[in-house]
C-alpha cells in the first residue's frame, strides 16, 4: 500500500472512531457526579462480606471468575514468552562476566532490596484490607528481587533466582486459584462462591475466600513476572548467536579474544 493510501485509510478510520467516540461520550453520566448505582451496590456487597477493600471484594469475590480469566491470561503470556525466548539451536549461552558496580549504587541497591521486598509482601498480605493486593504486590516483589542485578551483577541474581522453582510457583498459584474454586463448588453453592467464615471487618483474616484467592494471585504474579524477566534477561545478557552465524553442528565455543 502506498503512503498516500495508508494516510487515507488512517484518516477515514480516525474519522469514524472520532464520530463514534463523540456520540458515546454524549450518553455518559457527567464527570464526578454523586450517583454511582454500580459502585453503591458493589460497596454494599463488599461490606456485607466484611471486606474493607471494596476493589478486592469485586476482584476476588463478586467477580472472582473474571480474575481467574485474567490470571490465566498472564499465565499463558508467561508460558508463551518462555517458549518463544528459549535458547534455539543456533545460539550459544555465554557466561555473564562479573560487572563493576560503584560502591554507592551497590550500597543503595542492597539497602533498598529488603525494603522493597517487604513493601511488596505487605501489599500482597493486606489485599483484602487496604488498596493493593496480589497483583500489585506480586509485581513489586518480583521487581524488588531484580535490585540485586542493579546492585551486584547477573550472576548474583541467578544465584538467588532458580528459574525452575519460580516456574513451579507460577503454576502452583494458578492451580491454587482453580482448586479453591473447585473446593468452594464442592462445599457450597457455586464455583468461587465465598463460603469461608468471614471473620472480623478490617482484620487481616477477614473476607473469607478473598484471602486465599488474593494469596494465590500474589504467588502466581510474583513468580510469573520473575520468570518473564528471567527469559528477557537471559536473552539480553547470556544468549547470543553462535560464532559465525546460526549453526548448531559445531557450536563449540571458541577461544575468548583477549
How many residues lie near other proteins (CB under 8 A)? 34
Q: Alpha-carbon torsion 139, 141, 147, 153, what sign?
A: negative
Centroid of chain to Cα 132: 13
Q: Tell me: does residue 98 bind other proteins (CB under 8 A).
A: no
- Give the chain's length: 258
251 three-class SS: coil
Rounded-to-integer distance, Cα 121 and Cα 136, Å: 10
What is the phi/psi pair of residue 240, to 5°? -140, 165
Rounded-to-integer distance, Cα 139 and Cα 129, Å: 19
Q: Tell me: does residue 32 bind other proteins (CB under 8 A).
A: yes
CB of 138 to other proteins, least distance (A): 9
Instruction: For the segment 131-150, give every residue that binds other proteins (CB under 8 A).
Output: 131-133, 135-136, 139-140, 143, 146
Q: Tell me: does residue 126 bind other proteins (CB under 8 A).
A: no
Contact 250, 92 (CB under 8 A): no
> From residue 200 to residue 239, what is the string marking binding to other proteins with x (rule CB under 8 A)?
-------------------------x--xx--xx-xx--x
Q: Tell me: does residue 55 bind other proteins (CB under 8 A).
A: yes
Helices (H) and strands (E) in the chain, counts: 10, 2
Q: Tell me: does residue 189 bind other proteins (CB under 8 A).
A: no
Among the residue ranges 4-12, 65-73, 194-202, 248-256, the one whose residues contact other proteins (CB under 8 A): 248-256
Rounded-to-integer distance, Cα 6 and Cα 183, Å: 54
For residue 187, give the C-alpha cell. 462445599
CB of 31 to other proteins, least distance (A): 9
Closest to 210 measured CA to CA, from 92, 48, 31, 19: 48
CB of 103 to other proteins, least distance (A): 21
Residue closer to other proteins by CB (options 151, 233) is 233
Q: Tell me: does residue 240 bind other proteins (CB under 8 A).
A: yes
Q: Tell me: does residue 49 bind other proteins (CB under 8 A).
A: no
Rounded-to-integer distance, Cα 183 and Cα 163, Å: 30
Among the residue ranges 13-21, 93-101, 103-111, 166-174, the one whose residues contact other proteins (CB under 8 A): 93-101
Centroid of chain to Cα 185: 27
Q: Tell me: does residue 97 bind other proteins (CB under 8 A).
A: yes
Instruction: Write out the residues near other proteins by the rule CB under 8 A.
Output: 32, 53, 55-56, 94, 96-97, 123, 131-133, 135-136, 139-140, 143, 146, 225, 228-229, 232-233, 235-236, 239-241, 243-245, 253-254, 256-257
Amino acid at each position: 500500500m502506498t503512503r498516500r493510501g495508508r494516510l487515507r485509510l488512517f484518516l477515514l478510520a480516525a474519522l469514524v472512531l472520532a464520530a463514534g467516540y463523540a456520540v458515546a461520550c454524549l450518553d455518559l453520566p457527567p464527570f464526578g457526579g454523586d450517583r454511582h448505582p454500580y459502585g453503591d451496590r458493589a460497596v454494599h456487597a463488599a461490606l456485607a462480606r466484611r471486606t474493607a477493600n471494596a476493589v478486592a471484594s469485586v476482584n476476588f469475590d463478586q467477580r472472582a471468575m473474571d480474575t481467574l480469566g485474567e490470571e490465566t491470561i498472564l499465565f499463558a503470556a508467561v508460558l508463551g514468552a518462555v517458549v518463544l525466548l528459549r535458547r534455539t539451536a543456533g545460539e550459544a549461552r555465554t557466561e555473564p562476566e562479573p560487572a563493576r558496580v560503584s560502591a554507592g549504587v551497590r550500597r543503595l541497591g542492597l539497602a533498598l532490596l529488603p525494603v522493597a521486598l517487604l513493601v511488596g509482601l505487605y501489599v500482597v498480605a493486606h489485599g483484602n484490607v487496604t488498596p493493593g493486593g496480589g497483583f500489585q504486590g506480586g509485581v513489586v516483589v518480583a521487581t524488588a528481587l531484580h535490585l540485586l542485578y542493579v546492585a551486584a551483577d547477573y550472576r548474583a541474581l541467578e544465584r538467588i533466582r532458580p528459574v525452575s522453582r519460580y516456574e513451579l510457583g507460577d503454576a502452583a498459584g494458578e492451580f491454587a486459584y482453580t482448586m479453591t474454586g473447585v473446593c468452594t463448588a464442592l462445599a457450597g453453592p457455586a464455583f468461587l462462591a465465598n463460603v469461608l467464615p468471614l471473620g472480623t471487618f478490617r482484620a487481616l483474616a477477614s473476607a473469607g475466600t478473598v484471602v486465599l484467592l488474593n494469596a494465590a494471585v500474589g504467588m502466581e504474579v510474583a513468580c510469573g513476572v520473575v520468570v518473564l524477566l528471567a527469559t528477557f534477561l537471559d536473552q539480553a545478557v547470556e544468549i547470543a548467536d553462535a560464532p559465525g552465524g546460526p549453526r548448531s553442528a559445531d557450536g563449540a565455543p571458541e577461544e575468548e579474544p583477549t
